Amino acid sequence: MDNHEITWYMQEIAMHGLGAKIQFIKFIQCLENEETRQTRIVWSYLSSFLSHAAMISKFASPIYPSGIKKSRMEALRSILDISQDSEVLPRTARDNLEHFDERLDNWVGTKTGYLEIVFPDKATAIRSMHNGMRIKRVLALKELTFFSENRDGSRFALELEPLFEEVNRISNKAVEWLESSSPYMFIFPSDDPETIEQKSLEHRRQLEE
């Protein structure tokens, strides 16, 4: 896999990293505001953040890696310094998003209550999630721990800050690689004509060297 091909993946990772950062910041802002803390806006921003993180996870941790998938996975993990214990690799949150419909299907016929709420801290959240109560979305505000259910109905907890930090780090590495190693010349719509011409001249000089 050459740098032309790696560029395609790096651009996507950089984009999803930027999206994740924007959504996470908005998520935190909503939590800090008492008027929006218990609204669906919070869950919308959180779901969007997790969706962007899930896309990065897909690139770095494909299901059944073989052939091109395996080559892509190995190249990206190496360039982006993604270790085996990286917070972006586990598929728990990724599966929670992608199979949310199946989790709701599991509730049909149970006539049980469910939780979708922001609690002040993890201790309060855990006390409130008693047996028999279904967990749609629960957040412990102090620790920024997200609780939900797996496809089989079991519960999981996800620490959001470490995931955000790792996604942000990976995204920054992708941007650095694009700026230093990509063989493509990128012309962005916001650039003025003089900047475009300068980039074009620099690119031609690099090709001639």
Query: Residues 60-85: what's their mean pLDDT?
Result: 94
How many Å apart are CA 131 and CA 175, to the nearest integer?
Answer: 45
Q: CB neighbours of 71 closer than 8 A, spacing ≥ 6?
A: 1
Decide: 146 and 46 in contact? Cβ < 8 Å: yes
Res. 199 pLDDT band, cuts 50 70 90: low
Question: What pLDDT is recorded for position 5?
Answer: 96
Reported as a single tens digit per residue, the pLDDT across 139-174 is 999 999 999 998 888 899 999 999 999 999 999 999
Whose structure tokens read 């505001």? 33
How many Å apart are CA 76 and CA 83, to the nearest integer?
Answer: 11
Greatest extent of the chain over all pairs of C-alpha atoms, in Å = 71
Whose structure tokens read 């109905």? 153
Annotated domain spans of the chain: 3-204
Q: Which of 158, 103, 90 has the alpha carbon at shortest distance from 125?
A: 158
Decide: 27 and 164 in contact? Cβ < 8 Å: no
Query: Residues 50-61: what's their mean pLDDT?
Result: 95
**Average pLDDT of the chain?**
89
Query: Residues 53-71: what's their mean pLDDT?
Result: 93
Whose structure tokens read 């980039």? 199
Asked if residue 189 has pLDDT above 60, the reply is no
Reported as a single tens digit per residue, the pLDDT across 101-130 is 888 888 888 878 899 999 999 999 999 998
Decide: 49 and 27 in contact? Cβ < 8 Å: yes
Give the global pTM. Answer: 0.86
Question: What pLDDT is recorded for position 207?
Answer: 62
How many Å apart are CA 110 and CA 140, to the nearest integer?
Answer: 26
Asked if residue 190 has pLDDT above 60, the reply is no
Asked if residue 187 has pLDDT above 80, the reply is no
Question: What pLDDT is recorded for position 191?
Answer: 43
